[in-house]
Homo-oligomer: A and B are copies of this chain.
């Protein structure tokens, strides 16, 4: 079982995380991890904080030289924003006005505190930086087995892309030089206009992200018990990302309006090629099990909750009408959300992969995996 805990407040000294259950013998590139952190900070539509931070993961344990030991991997990411590198009650006034769409309102009730700051520090999406580090470890493991994951922006504001069956190679090619992460450059331009216009109005936007995974062998997850389905696990991981309000697998909601004849993927066979499908409406998961086809996922992200144009709120202490505090923020973060979604997907798949092929040493996993592929003549 692969598991991780993260910790850290948005304006605390550092974020940190521990990843436990990662196998022995995996060579880790620190550059790759920091590259992923950098991808999370990029994307057209981000505000100023992103410029300040320049996240780097410091790996404290779990590696000997650059190889994993099989021991828990711990890391931290310093919060560089030094002017506010403390959130002592002595230096900050109490914040009584919950910001709509944030965790503030529900958090203050749940934790029965007066100061919204006690809530927002941990509820901040800054926490997802840790998930990206976790995902970067998992991706490096999956890459050894030619499992690759990529996200792309499929919709932003009123602009959306129709689903296209593109290979990861094609997606990566199409994303080269893109500043927003959309495979369709014309659509991307329209999206960027949406962002600029929202920014002018002090408004924010959400969007759609597609996640594509290639190289997943058939056999991860199971229908044998309700809580073993890969579909459920992916859905859990993706819906756990702040601001994500919808998850689809394969055709997702489109499936609801199609008939069985028009939507179910027929099964074919050709000597040499083996079993194959002509369509992938199922999104690579059948009966809660990976089918060997690419796994395709789509998520919906709601608009950023902090707006320059203040939303209606109330002072918790007085009950009086008040404008929600405006903290500098992004106009949209849908590109970043894609990187986090890739990371969570990587975590779920790595966990399922290790469960099936052992989790002690890379060499052993490789052999078990090779034998399995041979066994299923896939």
Binary CB contact string for chain A from 228 to 268 against chain B (1 if under 8 A, 0 otherwise): 01011111111110101111111111111111110111111
A244 to B248, CA, bound (A): 9
Contact pick for A65, options B74, B89, B103, B104, CB 8 Å? B89
Judge whether A152 is part of the interface by a CB distance below 8 angstroms.
no
Specify the chain B residue showing the minimal Cβ separation from A4: B5
> Which residues in chain A, 49-75, are within 8 Å of chain B measured between CB atoms?
60-62, 64-65, 69-74
Which of A17, A106, A258, A321 gathers most chain B CB within 10 Å?
A106
Contact pick for A203, options B119, B259, B283, B309, CB 8 Å? B259
Specify the chain B residue showing the minimal Cβ separation from A247: B247
Contact pick for A269, options B123, B218, B249, B319, CB 8 Å? B319
Judge whether A112 is part of the interface by a CB distance below 8 angstroms.
yes
Q: What's the least CB distance linking A318 to chain B, in Å? A: 9
**Could you tell me if A224 and B122 are in contact, using CB atoms closer than 8 angstroms?**
yes
Judge whether A118 is part of the interface by a CB distance below 8 angstroms.
yes
Residues of chain B lying within 8 A (CB to CB) of residue A302: 251, 255-256, 258, 263
A283 to B239, CA, bound (A): 14
Residues of chain B lying within 8 A (CB to CB) of residue A271: 319
Judge whether A33 is part of the interface by a CB distance below 8 angstroms.
no
A318 to B234, CA, bound (A): 34
Which of A117, A206, A250, A320 gathers most chain B CB within 10 Å?
A206
Specify the chain B residue showing the minimal Cβ separation from A266: B312
Q: With A100-B265, A101-B282, A235-B238 given, can you name 14 additional A-B contacts, CB distance below 8 Å?
A: A7-B71, A71-B121, A106-B286, A106-B291, A111-B361, A158-B257, A203-B261, A208-B256, A253-B253, A260-B303, A263-B302, A264-B303, A269-B319, A367-B371
Which A-B residue pairs are the 8 nearest by beta carbons?
Answer: A103-B287, A266-B312, A7-B74, A204-B260, A235-B239, A110-B219, A260-B303, A7-B72
